Amino acid sequence: MQIKPDQLAAQLQRGLKPLYTLYGDEPLLALEAGDTIRAAARAAGHSERAVYTVAGAHFDWSTLLGAASSMSLFAESRIVEIRIPSGKPGKDGSQALQQYCAQLPEGVLTLVTLPRLDRQQQQSAWFAALEAAGTTVRLDAIERTALPQWLAQRLAAQSQRVAPGDEGQRTLAFFADRIEGNLLAAQQELAKLGLLYPAGELGFEQVEAAVLDVARYDVRKLGEAVLAGQVPRVLRMLEGLRAEGETPVLVHWALAEDIRALRRCKDAMAGGKPLPMALRENRVWGQKERLFERALPLLDTATLELLLEAAHVCDGLIKGLAHPAWPSEPWAALQRLALLLAQPLQGARGTASRTGTARLVLQG
């Protein structure tokens, strides 16, 4: 029988099954599901634990079969864990698992952990035997669209919540954007929120302050300095990032993402959308939202087109593609790209002047 991860605790409360199989590619969910099963087993008197990791084609399956069937003199029940990191037990392992499932030892709770399985593996005889003999739990990564609800549930479990309505949804969307693809980091940030703030409602600023502490702080601050037009600070930060060994690829990605977001917002506004809607659709939050509100009126479409072209040229330079009008050294090219965006934002000069400045820097 297959169940969802959020159904596991309720099923365990109704009684233990002799065998549980966990499979999937989400480390946090696998860790939590395994801990939940072990805790229930210990509460039911399974006081011993044996772990077998199948590594390579030379694993001795007879050792597992023999050990599982021999009970300890000092404990009535035990937990036997079978870990197959590759998801491929091999011919001998397939036969051994089928034999094991056909004759599950008494007094033993078996926990099998596997990675994500393809269709062929899920249709194999050994996996069918595991499904028939106990409970399987599929541990897929949480999709981006489901992350806000997942975060809200986790906050509720620690007696916290976001504001109702659009403000709360904005907070959850910001949180989801910061931790997408890394639920382990998400859980750490949720735990941090539980330590920093009491039970009750959390505001956007509280979540932003806590979650951004784990971001690549210097790169994020560089983007903010560029959008604020703080040219001397931008130059100092670029030197600092270079001295600390930061990768030029990450710095370029941060700058290019801001340029692309500015262009998308400009296009949305030209299409009749109000600025707040354009920012929300492009996931521009917090401090950067205020900086975009200031920057967009100072940048016309022609300037943004030049900035996109410059970001493309800079990307090629970082990858080793020379350009006759640009410096070949990646950090020098990054400095030019950052100044292309920062210089027009130092003050509210005329549009024509800003476009001319951008063109001059782009052409060297």
Residue-wise pLDDT for 265-277, tens only, equals: 999 999 999 999 9
State the Cα angle at 346 between 344 and 347, rounded to 5°. Answer: 90
Q: If pLDDT is split at 50, 70 and 90, which confidence band does 105 have? A: confident
* Structural domains of the chain, ranges and CATH numbers in brackets: 2-139 (3.40.50.300), 144-214 (1.10.8.60), 217-362 (1.20.272.10)
Six-digit token string for 131:
């499904």
Residue-wise pLDDT for 310-320, tens only, equals: 999 999 999 99
What letter does residue 193 receive in the DSSP assignment?
H
**C-alpha span between 334 and 200 (Å, rounded):** 44
**C-alpha span between 108 and 64 (Å, rounded):** 13
**C-alpha span between 204 and 213 (Å, rounded):** 14
What letter does residue 59 receive in the DSSP assignment?
-
- Residue type at 27 in one-letter notation: P
Residue-wise pLDDT for 145-202, tens only, equals: 899 999 999 999 999 999 999 999 999 998 988 787 678 888 989 998 998 999 999 9
- HSE value, Cβ hemisphere, 13 Å, CA-based, for 1: 10
Q: Is the pLDDT of residue 355 over 80?
A: no
Residue-wise pLDDT for 191-241, tens only, equals: 989 989 999 999 998 998 887 644 444 688 889 899 999 998 899 889 888
pTM of the model: 0.60
Q: Are 38 and 69 in contact (CB under 8 A)?
A: no
Q: Is the pLDDT of residue 75 over 70?
A: no
**C-alpha span between 281 and 90 (Å, rounded):** 49
Res 13: pLDDT: 93
State the Cα angle at 104 between 99 and 107, rounded to 5°. Answer: 155
Res 216: pLDDT: 42
